[in-house]
């Protein structure tokens, strides 16, 4: 049998109701709090506290804080008024049971709707991330195609230039050959033509005539051929077969589908050897994540940083940037983990890594404060102030956290 808590205290204003329920050893993770417009229940075995408000409660504006063995309710009244009692007297058991069942049903329905909405948002985020990645891949493919087209154009121009040069050299060789032929014919005519000495010296007829090399025109030699070079570049291919223009669109479509399927299933399952050369560079992935973060696509930025950490888990900047993404996505525990990992890698503390250490402390401290762990958050802000003591924003934030801690302490007293 549960122990019904009756030694609670309550206060009120025109708009708000404050209830303090003592539960020894109560913790947030162990207590079950149920709050609806007409029913409040706290179940902390073996303790049980419940009451039926005299007037409807505004659940969206109400809150409950658990700590130091006490549960503090701050309830907003839908209609401002001063209550004579906390709950209605002489309520029948059947009516009370009906209110309990309706309250549980509403809470379950709201939890179901929240779960469906969360799942829907997750699917939309995944779909959007996939579309962004496909868009980026498409832009990269277009850039590659533009580079290929430019290389093909340059190669065509070089080939045309080479052909024109060959044609000019061929024409020069033809002219040289023609000049040599004419010179040879002229030399033969000069040998066969009779001279005046042939009539004066008939005794020399029939004897071989010795002709000096000077009497024969020198043979014209062709000029030395000019040297040249042709640059040949081969585009890397995924497929083992030769590139065919008729199969180009089919190959590109297949590659896009494979990349989209791998990213849709899970980026962590990608094999390193399947990645492009630039995707194997953690710094390139870090820059890509920065661009995605700048446009507000934090999920895609996290995926890029996850891949970078898989490739090299010793770069503190990857963890530091991922903590910023998780902070934007309200993944507070992951923010704390990544900031702590970045601080582990940013050792020893030197002036070169002071800016990175300051960011890590501020992000971890912010996450602690969002989780209402103000003492731990203040410790990180004080560590950041040691790095940059003159920072006015850090001083202001640290002072606000001190006020919150002091206010909580005075409330508990």
pLDDT winner (highest mean) among 23-32, 108-117, 180-189, 283-292 = 283-292
Give the residue among 21, 17, 25 at the shortest CA–CA distance from 33.
21
Q: Is residue 26 scored above 60 in pLDDT?
A: no
Name the percent of the chain lying above pLDDT 90.
25
Residue 70's pLDDT is what?
Answer: 79
Domain residue limits, the chain: 3-91, 314-412
pLDDT in tens, 54-78: 788 888 888 888 776 778 888 888 8
Contact 391, 399 (CB under 8 A): no
pLDDT band at residue 260 under the 50/70/90 scheme? confident
Region 302-330 average pLDDT: 92
pLDDT band at residue 329 under the 50/70/90 scheme? very high
Residue 17's pLDDT is what?
Answer: 82
Q: Is residue 213 scored above 50 in pLDDT?
A: no
Place domain 314-412 in its CATH homologous superfamily. Tetratricopeptide repeat domain (1.25.40.10)
Tokens of 240: 């083992």
pLDDT in tens, 217-242: 455 677 777 777 777 776 677 666 77
Tracing tokens 């050299």 back to the chain, one arrives at 169
pLDDT in tens, 84-94: 787 776 777 77
Q: What is the pTM of this model?
A: 0.37
CA of 219: how far to CAs of 107, 171, 174, 224, in Å? 110, 19, 15, 15
Residue 339's pLDDT is what?
Answer: 94
Residue 270's pLDDT is what?
Answer: 46
CA of 342: how far to CAs of 31, 84, 133, 153, 313, in Å? 34, 57, 27, 48, 10
Residue 50's pLDDT is what?
Answer: 79
pLDDT band at residue 195 under the 50/70/90 scheme? low
CATH topology of domain 3-91: Immunoglobulin-like (2.60.40)
pLDDT in tens, 377-390: 999 999 999 999 99
């Amino acid at each position: 049998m549960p122990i019904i808590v009756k030694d609670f205290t309550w206060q009120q204003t025109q708009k708000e109701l404050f209830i303090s329920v003592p539960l020894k050893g109560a913790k947030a993770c162990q207590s079950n709090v149920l709050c609806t417009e007409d029913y409040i229940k706290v179940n902390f075995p073996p303790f049980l506290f419940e009451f039926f408000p005299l007037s409807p409660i505004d659940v969206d504006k109400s809150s409950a804080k658990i700590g130091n063995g006490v549960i503090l309710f701050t309830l907003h009244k839908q209609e401002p008024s001063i209550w004579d009692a906390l709950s209605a007297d002489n309520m029948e058991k059947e009516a009370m049971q009906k209110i309990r069942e309706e309250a549980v049903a509403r809470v379950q329905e709201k939890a179901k709707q929240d779960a469906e909405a969360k799942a829907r948002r997750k699917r939309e985020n995944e779909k959007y991330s996939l579309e962004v990645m496909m868009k980026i891949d498409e832009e990269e493919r277009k850039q590659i195609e533009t580079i290929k087209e430019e290389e093909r154009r340059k190669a065509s121009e070089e080939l045309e230039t080479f052909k024109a040069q060959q044609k000019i050299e061929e024409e020069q060789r033809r002219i040289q050959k023609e000049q040599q032929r004419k010179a040879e014919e002229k030399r033969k005519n000069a040998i066969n033509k009779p001279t005046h000495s042939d009539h004066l010296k008939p005794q020399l007829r029939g004897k071989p005539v010795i002709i000096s090399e000077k009497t024969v025109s020198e043979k014209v030699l062709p000029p030395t051929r000019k040297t040249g070079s042709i640059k040949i570049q081969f585009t890397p291919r995924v497929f083992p077969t030769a590139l065919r223009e008729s199969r180009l669109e089919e190959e590109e479509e297949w590659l896009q589908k494979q990349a989209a399927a791998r990213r849709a299933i899970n980026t962590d399952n990608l094999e390193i050897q399947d990645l492009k050369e630039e995707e194997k560079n953690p710094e390139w992935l870090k820059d890509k994540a920065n661009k995605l973060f700048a446009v507000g696509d934090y999920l895609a930025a996290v995926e890029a940083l996850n891949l970078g950490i898989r490739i090299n888990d010793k770069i503190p900047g990857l963890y530091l940037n991922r903590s910023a993404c998780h902070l934007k996505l309200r993944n507070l525990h992951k923010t704390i983990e990544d900031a702590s990992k970045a601080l582990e890698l940013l050792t020893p503390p030197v002036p070169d890594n002071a800016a990175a250490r300051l960011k890590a402390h501020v992000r971890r401290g912010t996450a602690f404060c969002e989780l209402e762990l103000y003492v731990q958050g203040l410790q990180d802000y004080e560590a950041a102030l040691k790095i940059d003591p003159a920072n006015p924003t850090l001083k202001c934030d640290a002072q606000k956290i001190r006020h919150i801690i002091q206010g909580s302490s005075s409330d508990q007293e």
